Structure 1
Amino acid sequence: MTLPAQSRADECPDDLDRVVDLLAGRRLAVLTGAGLSTDSGIPDYRGPDSPPRTPMTYQQFVGDAAFRRHYWARNHVGWSHVRRAEPNAGHRALVALEARGVVVGVITQNVDLLHEDAGSRHVIDLHGRYDRVICLSCATVISRAALAERLDALNPGFTESIGDVGDVEIAPDADAVIEATAHFVVAPCERCGGLLKPEIVYFGENVPRERVARAFALVDAADALVVAGSSLTVMSGLRFVRHAAKAGQPVVIINRGPTRGDALATAKLDAGTSETLRALDARLRSPRPDQAAAAAPELSPGSEEVA
């Protein structure tokens, strides 16, 4: 069933009733996208009201020093904004559903770590994390906070010259729109002098196979898949919808505007994610004890050493 477009979950109780009936008693895997973080002040890439964006590709980043300098200048301003963002009601609803055994885990396309900040235990950061930086030569991983100190020292007064971060357009990957970046100094790896890159999957890069395998395992451990706040434009998320649909699992999509997975959805709510997840938290009962006992295996991402 495809549910008619509505602006808010609480304005379409009949449609929400049908989704609750569909998901009741099932263990849920949840795939989240940028639309979930908009209520935390982080704009999405492809929402109905989002401006056109041209994300930097991996090939541009590694192959062009000017592109790389521009990226780091923008990121240096934008990352501090993402760092200050806080989880919203949608993130907290997923935590509550996980605590009751309804949600077995979250696969997120976001890099903002708001699921972890809210308290979700089983999270797969599909596209990486904004708080880490990796050297492309020696694979040393450092914290983004440590790099921020180095960039501040190399570029005194740069952030202040841009003005208040609230006046700069911020993107979900901690990017920000800044025109004058030619004078920005980029920091090399302190260990080997190599190129540093945010530990984020860029356009033109592949999600690591091990991470994809864990995400498929999470979907297989559930009885249904819920997509919240993703347009499913990129294959990295759409493949899980296809996988669940092929396996005969119900797929529920909650998103403002159309998605690439709508034709595969058992149900679609054109609604805000935070209010809809909050409503589901209030109405979905916990799985039976025998179902809860068969919940997903340990799916937390492995931790890399951070220098």
Structure 2
Amino acid sequence: MDRSSSRASGSGLNIRDRPHDGIERLRELLDNRRTLVITGAGMSTDSGIPDYRGPKSPPRTPMTFQQFIGDPDFRRHYWARNHVGWRHMDAAMPNAGHRALAGLERAGSVRAVITQNVDLLHTKAGSRQVIDLHGTYARVACLSCGRRVSRYALAERLDRLNPGFAETVAAATSVEIAPDADAIISSTEHFRMVGCEHCDGILKPDIVYFGESVPPERVAAAFELVEQCDAVLVAGSSLTVMSGLRFVRRAAKLAIPIAIVNRGRTRGDEFASLKLDAGCSDVLTALAAPARTTRSRD
């Protein structure tokens, strides 16, 4: 397979204006190529999980690693919000886009998925080769001894210490959930937090926060997937942070064709052979459907 692909002149295409053209061009670009998919928050908006940087997203200030470790009150406030928010993320279901990617993997078209999301929706949809680049909401790590436990186990401990807290908050207000499973609530001063059961160390969601590095072995595994693929498809990511952009840059350096499906501009647009300004669910569902043939009239 020849990896080379010329950059399309004016490669951006608004699929809402010419949906069939966009899908066909994407299908042609990825045809017979082992495709690596890189997904971001825009992949999960149709599952009810908001994104950080979509065109209609409200301004958000994601928590940083330095904030979390540096202020006990901030940490307590965060865990109170997470104690409500993680349940909403846990209940979220894969959307048509997630299911389409899982189907394309089973068909042999998709080699693997690197996701910047922490919602586990690719795994829930049935995708098998998934790198959760930023971790997942479903595990908690101790910053002292490194032990990891399930979020379910921590929830049981917190429920015993804060009986009725999550239910009271959910009943009193319409809870908004951030992309990292943090519920947007304000009154948390009475919430009580626990430490690690083994060493009483600080517990932190097993999620890579802003200002924190992705584990090097995870990055190495992702780069290896880039080098093994014949095409890269970015779905629902603005590629604003280097965490995901570096893989697109590596693919471009290796002359691997790159397609981007995202609402709005991305930092990777300059590397794309094809850019579709569109939602992920519609595009991926159409991509996974059998190609339509046009019958000539006699």
**TM above 0.5, one fold?**
yes
Offset, 1:197: 0.3
Please identify runs of 4+ aligned residues in structure 1 that moved more than 6 A. Answer: none
Cross-structure match for 1:116? 123
Percentage of identical aligned residues: 65
Structure 2, unmatched stretches of 5+, are 1-7, 293-298
Query: Match of 2:260?
Result: 253
How do 1:12-23 residues align onto structure 2 when only pairs under 5 Å count? 12-23=19-30
Note the 1:285-304 alignment, pairs <5 A. none
Change (3 A) 1:61 1:272: same
**Pair 1:103-2:110 in alignment:** yes
- 1:193 alignment partner, one of 194, 200, 204: 200
| Counterparts in 2 of 1:162 and 1:233: CA distance versus 1, 3 Å | same
1:1-307 to structure 2, matched below 5 A, reads 1=8, 2-7=11-16, 11-164=18-171, 167-283=174-290
Q: Aligned in 2, Cα 1:46/1:245: closer, same or farther, shift over 3 Å?
A: same
Q: State the distance in 2 between where 1:166 and 1:213 align.
A: 43
1:40-61 per-residue CA deviation (whole Å, 9 max, x = no partner) reads 1111111111111111110110
Contact 1:23 1:284 in 2 (8 A): no
For 1:15 and 1:194, the matched residues in 2 are separated by 52
* AA at the equivalent of 1:5: N
The answer to whether the 8 Å contact 1:132/1:141 transfers is yes
The answer on whether the counterparts of 2:39 and 2:113 sit within 8 Å (CA) in structure 1 is yes
CA distance in 1, matches of 2:172, 2:99: 26
Q: Distance in 1 between matches of 2:277 and 2:288?
A: 18
- Contact persistence 2:112–2:130 (CA under 8 A): yes
Q: How far apart are residue 64 of structure 1 and its match?
A: 0.4
3-state DSSP class of the match of 2:13? Answer: coil
RMSD over equivalenced CA pairs, Å: 1.5
Cα 1:250/1:67, change in 2 over 3 Å: same
Give 1:181 deviation, angstroms. Answer: 1.2
Displacement after TM superposition at 1:27 (Å): 0.8
Give the Cα–Cα distance (whole angstroms) in 2 for the partners of residues 225 and 253 of structure 1.
Answer: 8
Aligned residue for 2:295? none
Q: For the Cα contact (< 8 Å) 2:15–2:22, is it kept in 1? A: no
Q: Secondary structure at the match of 2:204?
A: strand
TM-score by length of 1: 0.89
Gaps of 5+ in 1: 286-307
Structure 2: how far apart are the matches of 1:168 and 1:124? 29
What are the superposed Cα offsets for residues 97-140 of structure 1, whole Å, 9 maximum, x if unpaired?
A: 11111100000000111111111110000000110001000111
**Paired residue secondary structure (2:12):** coil
Query: Taking structure 2 as the reference length, what is the TM-score of the superposition?
Result: 0.92
**Paired residue secondary structure (1:82):** helix
- Residues 8-60 of structure 1: per-residue CA shift (max 9 Å, x gap): 8xx52112212211111111000001111111111111111111111111011
Instruction: Give the letter for the 1:131 counterpart.
Output: A
Q: How big is each residue's C-alpha offset from its partner over 1:159-194, in whole Å with a ceiling of 9 and x where there is no partner? A: 123134981110111111111112111111111000
AA matched with 1:143: S
Aligned partner letter, 2:219: V
